[in-house]
Amino acid sequence: MDNPDTSFAKQLQDSGVARGGYAYDIANGRRVPNQKLALRIYRATGRKIGPIANLPDETIAVLEQVSL
């Protein structure tokens, strides 16, 4: 069975959000994505991480509108 962090890293890679070692570093908490990347990760995987980890969905929707 896959390690949950490995599965998340694979999701990041498969969705095209992050590649290789960077995806694994994000998945394992060694790197924190900036807000724009965190929003892309959220949309691609449904997981809230980094600067958006504790934000409600309504706030994230507003951030997406102003981050275009």
Torsion of CA 36, 19, 9, 23, to 10 degrees: -60
Could you read off the pLDDT tens digit of each residue along the chain, which spans 68 residues? 456 678 999 999 999 999 999 999 999 999 999 999 999 999 999 999 999 999 999 999 999 999 76
This prediction has a pTM of 0.85
Q: For the chain, how long is the longest CA-to-CA vector?
A: 40
Q: What is the pLDDT of residue 53?
A: 97
The domain spans of the chain are 4-66
Q: Map tokens 């962090």 to a residue.
A: 5
